[in-house]
Every structure is written in C-alpha cells, then in structure tokens.
Structure 1
C-alpha cells in the first residue's frame, strides 16, 4: 500500500465510469434488482470458509448505498486509514481511537471479522516520529504497537504488523525507511514480538505490494518468513496487496502463494484492485473480470489462503486516479454503485458456477430546501499549476431533465485544457458544459457528472455561479 491511502476525496472517474456502465450492459451484464441474501459474495465466501473483505472509511457508512453494499456483500472489514499511526497516535503517547473504534463497532454489530491495518509503516507517520533518535524511535514503535494492538486486543483476527518494509525494484533489499535507517535489520522482528505480546490471539502478518508473482521482492520476504519460522519469531501470515493492472495478473500467482503457505503461514490477498486506462473499454472491462476471477481462483486453490479483500467498494472513492492519472475503474462496483462484470466473475469464482444476484443499493436522495432546482458538488485535485476537477449536479426538480447545460464562472484565471463526459467551452472566465450524446437525461433526484483538466496561476478557488439550464444551483 502506497502513501495514496491517505487520500479521502472522491476519485475523478465520472466520465470513465459512466462509459463503464454502458460497456457492462454491452457485455450482457444487466443491473439487477435487490439481492437475494443467499447469493451475495458474503454468502458464497462463508460457504467456502473464506474471507471476502473490504477496506472501509467509517465516515462513508452514513451514505446509504455504501452502507448497503458493506452490509450485504462482505464478511470481513479493514479500516482504510483509521487505524494507521497518524490516525491513532498523532502526538506521542496520546492515543485516539474514535475512527478506528467506529470500524470495529461496525464489524462487531454486523457479525463481520475485523482485520487490523497497520501497526508499523513508513508512510502516514505523524511528524514527531521522524525527529526521534534511534533509542527513542525503538521505544516509540514498541509503545505504539502496545497501545494500538492492546486497545483492539481480542477484536482483530489478524494484524498487518509491518507494511511495505521492502524496497521496489529488483534488488530485494529493505526499504530505506526511518525504521531501517535508525534501527537496522532487527526492527521487523522486534515489531512482531511486540505485537504478539500486545494481542496474543491475533494472527500477525507482513504485508507488501508488487509481490504477487515470484520476483526479487517476494523472494526477499519469503526468505525473511523462512528465517522467522526457523528461529521461532512469531509470524502467522503474509499479505499480498495485489494492486494490479488489467491484463497483468502474474501467471505464477498461485504457485507464489503456495510457496509461502508451504512455510507454514497463511496467505491473503489484502488490497485487491485492478486498474485500467479511463474511460474504460468493453474489452478492458471483460479482461478485468477475467483477472478478478484469476485472483480469487488462485486464492481458493491454496488451502492456506484465508481470503481476498478489495481496497474499497466503489470506483467513486478509489485512490487510483489521484495517484495514476488516466487510470481507474479498478473496483467491482462503478461510481454509481452498479455492479460491473468483475462482480459476476468474483461471484462465479466463489460459487463454483453459481450466478448470484448482486446487491444494487437504492440511495435515498436528500430533500433540498424549497426553490432549489439543483445542487452542485465540485471536487478539485490541485498540483503546482495544474488541476483536475469533477462536477456533480443533482436534479432536485420534480421532473427529468432532457438535455443539460451547466454553467459556472472561474475567479482566478483558470483555463480548461480538456474535458470528459461533456462538451466544455470557455469564454474568459465563463464556462459552459453541455451533455454528451449518451448522458443527456437526468431523472428527478438523479445526478449528472463530468470532469475536466486545467491550468491555474497559483490560486485555484472553487468556481461560482453554477447553473443548470439557466437555473441557479446551490452548492453542497
């Protein structure tokens, strides 16, 4: 897991994912009605004694569609960010567990297993950590493990004790993190021993990315696990993040999982998503579905593979586009919570040919104040002198909109360079966006969305004066 996981703003996928939905229909995958509880992913995974997990943000559990899918489709949950070091110990020895406890409470209330992520990671560290001496850093690491794992003692089935400790590239060496620099090679063993003392019943895992096939990095972790097992260092499982690219599932994934299992540890697919260029094509959606099937099938073929966890529910909130511009559509529900072909593939892999009925949530739109015909949400992503933005406009009227034009005004000389999901023109500070040929109808309570890329001169304030077909919109 890269530093991307700290991002919480919605991913800018509107145009891509609208096309993804169209493409899915073209592949013969239709949006179904309410789920039959006997044929959800959760039910299928339960029947096989495996985990089907998901990373969640507790702040989104109030969103009805998000909550419905989390409730119905998964039997394990992991906190996307809420149990990391910066979230749980922002100041030394001052712990806060509000967000992590929200995830734990949600899991307990729904009868779901809780996976702990993560105790020691070089990223998302509060600033005070990097200023410590070696002696202070070692004590701070041990205190942090005791504080966090101790707080959740008995509630977590497994912990990612150490995350991303090995370097990228072909060397197979250790990552040059603050822990490696100041504590040397022994810090990983110290972390695992401390975690065992803090939460004796939890399984203890090491987790990393780009280790899905047999390569220098995965072999370095293999050698560490083999050494730990030989010397009695507590380690119970290995996590394979599986942030994959469409069409590039390693052919030796299963054999790689098996070689770790043969060491006497469990293995898990911990952070699965499979990205593609956006907007997605029907061909890439079909390949993505086949790729998801391959990953789940590989896990099921290894007796000690505990299960598969996807890194998020919906493309709406995926981290991918913020980190890999032009890439996205990586999860199994699209931005509008419609199941994609990948959902069917995962379900069939879990069910041995049984075709399930996917959960399709029915969001309840909020009621706008009288007189408001539309509500705009503007989501920018700014860097240096460039930016991208997503514009979502909800039709708060009583009737459908057939053909739309959205207008707004820039306030700091921003210029749009390209757009998707709409035809966008700009005259001075005034911008006009017209629907594409396929997305002109917006039902009452429905939402249109489009995005664009642009430049700015150092200031990028939110535009003003949003209108839908000439009617003033409120912002929300």
Structure 2
C-alpha cells in the first residue's frame, strides 16, 4: 500500500529533478550518500531479480555521491585470522565508488561487534598483545585503503546505553587507552583521511550517551590526538524522533569541542508495523529534520542512509515488527520521505535561505 496522496505537504517532483546528491551539493553539502553491501548479499533470494534496478540507482552519481561498505571493511572480513588479511569484500564497494566518482566513507576499524572470532574469544589477552593486534589491524586495513577513504570510522560504538564505556574486549583489557591508540595509529596509517568517532543514540543534545560522546572527543583533544569528526548514526524511530533543533544543538555541541565536521552516517527511520499514512508522515518529518539541520549547521558535511532499498535493511531482523526504514519500498516506489528530502534541499538551493530562522517543530507525537 502507498499513501502519497495522503501527504498533502509533500510535493511530487519529476524524477529527473529529484536526485539527492545533486540537490544536496546545491544546498552546500559535500554529499548525500547510501551505504551498500556486496553484490553477493544483494543478489540473495527472493530479490535476485531486483539487482539491476538496485545497481542502477546506487551507481547514479546524481542520486548518491558517496557510499560506505556496510560490512566489507569490518574485522571479521578483513583479518579473519591473526595477521592474515582479506580485502575482497571491501574492495567490491570501493570499486563501485571509484567507478562512479563517489566519495568513500570507510567503516569501521575498531568495533566490539563483527570481530573475527580469534579476537573476542581469546580470554588471555595481555595489554601488550592486544595493543599489538589493534595496531597490526589498523596498519593493515587503513594502510590498504590509504588515500582512497574520505573518512574512517576509527572507533565505532564505544559507549553503552547509559553513556559509560562499553565492556568490550578492548575496554576490558586496555580501558579507554584503546580509543586514544586507535586514533593515533589511524592518523599514521591513512593521514589524508578524516578521522571519526561513530555511534548511535548520540543525536539528542541532553542524553547521557551524547555526553559520553563528548567525553571521548574531549579526551582525544586534551591528549593532542587528532579527531576530525563525529558520526551520528541516526537510526531513528518514525513515531518518536529528535526535532530539527535537537539535531542542530547536538551537532553544534560537538563542534564547540573542536571537531571540524559532523555527519549523519547511517541514517534510517524505522516504522512500527503496519505502515500507514500517519507513520509515513512522521517518517517524512524525521528525514526532513535531519536534512535541514545538516544544511543549517555549516560543519555538517553530509548524510548517508544505511542502504536505500527496504528489503536490504538490517532493521526487520534486529527489530522485529519494524521496517520500511529507507527511501525505496520493495516494489521500487519511493517513500514520501524521498520527496520530503527533495523539498527541503530545494528550499536551500545555493544556500540562499540560510538566514531564515529554522521552522518551529510541532509538539507531541512524532517528536
């Protein structure tokens, strides 16, 4: 079912004019992008026949000017055995970026999840042994992609839900030293890449997790260690999402600590089933809030959606009863949120309206 007619505030636009990266650049952003996985993942049943359509949209440089490998650069793929590197998965997406002139955001060097089993099942790590393993991994992976990544998510999701450090294998052995070491070694391995701390749940200005992310930025800055950006994953809920002012205040808070840029790195907005006109309207609003906030905060360089085709989203598997989080439905019709993003970007074409005050977010359901 589709509910475009019910969303009277969204203007239908011709496909040729509704291309996200071109409009984002006109509004002053560096990119509008979409993460993607390798073709082997995308071609799985029952959607194998959809791959040519998917690939055509992904490769269109006016639609997406940036991409991120959702999985291919993670530890389980890149260093499956100690000191044995395999870059095949990550190179598939890297080649798509190179062939189509897209920026490549690289993801992620040090993360507690999707580790090779030898990392997180080893129970007798010494501090020196784990330091050596992290350095070898960063040298090998960031060194392999040296000069090709616009940015690296150096450390991913180091925080627990309450804003304290996550009790990962890295933290349990090294404490927060592992974060400082990872940024130092990443800067040496790929000096031209922007270095990011990346996490979810750090989009609201007054949350404990946002405070934790600020603590990480301050720790690195105080130690004289380079951190260029904060990545707000922005895995959001359609029915209860941050306001545009929330997003702006949060990003400005990170910038005040000294980072030169911020970005929305894994954006999706999930809907609790069943999808209906109301939930699609909430979703459209959420996508528009993110888009306008990014345009209005000059240090916000871009937006990456975490894939773009609903059947390839991670959301239903992890959050049962939720879905339709992206911009294309399974039948290749677009979500109303797509036109909402277009409408917002067109409003700021050539940044001519940035002096106008932000719109006032409504109160109640959906914010």
Q: CA deviation at 1:99?
A: 1.5
What's the secondary structure of 2:258's corresponding residue? coil
Residues 123 and 111 of structure 1: CA distance in aligned 2, closer, same or farther (over 3 Å)? same
Residue by residue over 1:317-373, the C-alpha shift from the partner in whole angstroms, topping out at 9 and shown as x without a partner, is 11111111111111111112211100011111222178xxxxxxxxxxxxxxxxxxx
In 2: Cα distance, 1:191 partner to 1:185 partner: 10
| TM-score, normalised via structure 1 length | 0.67
Q: In the alignment, what sits opposite 2:223?
A: 231
Equivalent in the alignment of 1:45: 24
Larger radius of gyration: 1
| Aligned: 1:57 with 2:57 | no
2:288 corresponds to which residue? 293
Residue 133 (structure 2) pairs with residue 154 (structure 1): no
Report matched runs for 1:415-426 at 5 Å. none
CA contact (8 A) 2:36 2:67 kept: yes
Contact 1:146–1:194, Cα closer than 8 Å, also in 2: yes
State the SS of the aligned residue for 2:107: strand
Is the CA contact 2:183–2:195 (under 8 Å) kept in the aligned structure 1? Answer: yes
Q: Kindly indicate whether residue 54 of structure 2 is the aligned counterpart of residue 69 of structure 1.
A: no
1:99 aligns with 2:89: yes
The DSSP-based 3-state class of the residue aligned with 1:79 is coil
Partners in 1 of 2:323 and 2:111 — Cα distance? 25
Question: 1:118 touches 1:159 (CA, 8 Å); kept in 2?
Answer: yes
In structure 2, distance between residues paired with 1:289 and 1:328: 14
Q: Return the match for 1:258 from 220, 230, 252.
A: 252
2-side partners of 1:307 and 1:286: how far apart? 23
- Distance (Å, rounded) in 2 between the aligned partners of 1:350 and 1:85: 36
Calculate the TM-score normalised by the size of structure 2: 0.86
Map of 1:432 onto structure 2: none
Kindly provide the CA deviation profile for residues 50-88 of structure 1, in whole angstroms up to 9, marking residues without a partner as x: 221111012138811111211221000000101100011
Shift of 1:30: 9.6
Contact 1:31 1:339 in 2 (8 A): no
Q: Secondary structure at the match of 2:166?
A: coil
CA offsets, 1:220-256, max 9 Å, x none? 2112212322331111000111111113222322101
Question: 48, 58, 68: which one pairs with 1:78?
Answer: 68
Alignment-derived partner of residue 435 in structure 1: none
Paired residues of 1:24 and 1:30 also in contact (CA < 8 A): no
> Equivalent residues in 2 for 1:10-409 (5 A)?
19=1, 22-27=2-7, 35-36=15-16, 39-47=18-26, 48-59=28-39, 60=42, 63-72=51-60, 73-130=63-120, 131=122, 133-134=125-126, 135-169=128-162, 172-214=163-205, 215-251=207-243, 252-265=246-259, 266-352=261-347
What residue is the counterpart of 1:448 in the other structure?
none
Q: SS of the residue aligned with 1:333?
A: coil
Unmatched 5+ stretches in structure 2: 350-367
Distance 2:66 2:348 in 1: 23
Between Structure 1 and Structure 2, how many residues are aligned? 330
Supply the distance in 2 between the matched residues of 1:90 and 1:54 (Cα, whole angstroms): 26
2 CA distance for matches of 1:213 and 1:333?
27
Name the CA distance, whole Å, in 2 between partners of 1:49 and 1:250. 21
Gaps of 5+ in 1: 1-18, 355-476
**Tell me, what secondary structure is at the counterpart of 1:239?**
strand
Mapped partners of 1:175, 1:139: distance in 2: 21
Q: Which has the higher helix share?
A: 2
- How many Å separate the matches in 2 of 1:340 and 1:353? 21
